[in-house]
Amino acid sequence: MSERFDGRAPDELRTISITPNFTDMPAASVLVRFGRTTVMCTASIDKSVPRWMDKPGNTRGWVTGEYSMLPGATDPRFRREVHRGGLSGRTQEIQRLIGRSLRAVTDLEKLGPRTIYLDCDVLQADGGTRTASITGAYVALALACEKLLAEALIDEVPLNDSVAAISCGIVEGRALLDLPYVEDSAADVDMNVVMTGSGRLIEVQGTGEEATFSRAELNALLDLAEKGIGELTAMQNDVLPERLHFK
């Protein structure tokens, strides 16, 4: 059986790095790399909550995500969305996914009446930008929570579990983990999986790209994702203080 173009085994992640404190102004700033894919994830804390939440007596907070590709992230250059008259459907879909994934492990009551924005700005894109974003944004969220604890603005960790995400897909009949652009664009089936550190599913998005797939193929992809997310969870814990580890 032929090797992948970069020599990886079918169930092998690219080289991953997670660098906290990349910049120092926001509440937290993480630079995450999945191979050449590079995303800056910052967490900013705002003292207000969205208007629809902001009712007398509200004690809950909110967590939301934004996602953007920088123009130099790809070759050819990616035209800024501000010049196209608004966010594309793809960007909005990814933003909604980031926010939903992080909220699935956040105790909004313990967070208290504030909003944490997770901004995922893609400095370089080579496939898997949404899963790198979620994986890095979780670390930024956890570090921002750590900061709130350190400043005694909250007194309990407002998270129930960790979150990580990975892509997988079926390329030329083989189920592969963590697709770079060259594999992603050749995939018949494309799947993104978001899971907690404890192995529960948060989101499964499997899409046939002008193709269809069977239940058995779906299961093979989920097995790959589960393995990859386990490894990402360990790497996230490596850069986080112990009181933010979940089992």
23 near its own copies, rule: CB under 8 A: yes
90 is in an annotated binding site: yes
Of 146, 127, 159, which is closest to residue 30 (Cα–Cα)?
Answer: 146
Query: Shortest gap between Cβ of 231 and its own copies (angstroms)?
Result: 18
Contacts of 99 (CB under 8 A, 6+ apart): 63, 64, 65, 118
Q: Is 84 exposed, middle or buried (0-12, 13-18, 19+ CB in 10 A)?
A: exposed
Alpha carbon of residue 15 to chain centroid: 16
Give the nearer residue to its own copies in terms of CB position, either 12 or 107.
107
CB of 113 to its own copies, least distance (A): 16
Does 200 bind its own copies (CB under 8 A)? Our answer is yes
Which one of the spans 2-10, 69-77, 149-157, 228-236 is the region binding its own copies (CB under 8 A)? 69-77
- CB 136 within 8 Å of CB 37: no
Q: Is 130 annotated as a binding residue?
A: yes
- Per DSSP, the three-state class of 105 is coil
Indicate which single residue of 14, 18, 29, 145 sits in contact with its own copies (rule: CB under 8 A).
29
Per the annotation, does 19 bind a ligand?
no
Do 32 and 39 form a contact (C-beta atoms < 8 A)? Answer: yes
Encoded tokens for 117: 């924005």
Coil vs helix vs strand at 109: helix
| Angle, vertex CA 220, rays to CA 136 and CA 201, nearest 5 | 45
Q: Which amino acid is it at 113?
A: P
Q: Which is nearer to its own copies, 200 or 245 (CB)?
A: 200
Q: Binding site annotation covers 128?
A: yes
Q: Please report, as residue ranges, which positions from 123 to 162 form the binding site for its own copies (by CB under 8 A).
A: 123-126, 161
Q: Is 206 among the residues that bind its own copies (CB under 8 A)?
A: yes
Q: With respect to its own copies, which residue has the nearer C-beta, 2 or 198?
A: 198
**Residues lying near its own copies in the complex (CB under 8 A):** 23-27, 29, 36, 38, 40, 42-44, 46, 66, 68, 70-77, 80-82, 85-90, 92-93, 95-96, 100, 103-104, 117, 119, 121, 123-126, 161, 196, 200-215, 218, 222
Binding residues: 90, 128-130
